[in-house]
Structure 1
Amino acid sequence: LVKKDSVPSQIQNAIKDLEINKTYIAGGTNTISKATEANLPNVVERMAGNTRYETSVAIAKSKFGASKEAYIASGEEFADALVISPVSGKYNRPTLLVSTKAANNGPVRSYVKESNISKLTAIGGQRYVPSSIIDGLVK
């Protein structure tokens, strides 16, 4: 994880120690600036949208296009999304972020309808991922 306008020294050290030679950026220039991008090794791709929900779809399209299953997590409270991310990668399933405000979920709803996804697994409780939101993604 980096800051918008800097790469923390711990991350710089990890990049060096682990001999990381390519980078994928998740987020637009309002999240990770071009100046910060320039300080990362060999940026291969930037996956971004105008919102965090669109960014989750951009990541899904780029890295999980053939997946038939997806995890759904809150884009408002990040703990559940952070916890499921390693599992998401291991099982080759995207983690799509949703809002409790259905109007924000249009990009995710469109992606689910247009993709091969036939199974959604909600991560987190009803407070942040209500059943009505999941229902709205598949109708």
Structure 2
Amino acid sequence: MTKSDTLVEPNSVHADVSKEIEENLLASLAVLNSQSMNSTIVLTKRASGGKLLAGVSGTTSYGWFLVKLMWVDEEHRRTGIGTTLMQEAEQRAKSLGCHGAWLDTSNPKAHEFYLRLGYSDFGKLSNPPGNEPLGHCRWFMKKVLRPE
């Protein structure tokens, strides 16, 4: 690739370009690898006025459900909304043929939340001493959805 072939996308189109890259990657992988259906799962909980209270978003591939995003409004944490959304997302993933779920988080409170939901660590990425941000850690977690 020459310098003139490089295109830097403006921030406003990053999401669209990222989606286009992902779609092309998944299409090329599907030709090379046998896999289960690639599906997107998005669940939300909204207040009666429409305000977003919580949401989970993920994709299925190769029999796994990847939880990409999970968020609960600060005022509604520890009310069961997050647990309910995660359980519903996992059920939908199972119905699409997924045997397991995986995710990553760098939030210690979220790590504890996922542990309570039955997820376990399968990897950890930590910043070495002297590197910023100090003490940063990302946990990679998985959960069996359908026992063998």
Task: Indicate the TM-score class for this superposition, using the shorter chain for normalisation.
Answer: 0.3 to 0.5
Which one has a larger percent strand, Structure 1 or Structure 2?
A: 2
TM-score (norm 1): 0.33
Larger RCO, structures 1/2 (Cα 8 Å, 6+ apart)? 1
Which one has a larger percent helix, Structure 1 or Structure 2?
A: 1
Larger radius of gyration: 2
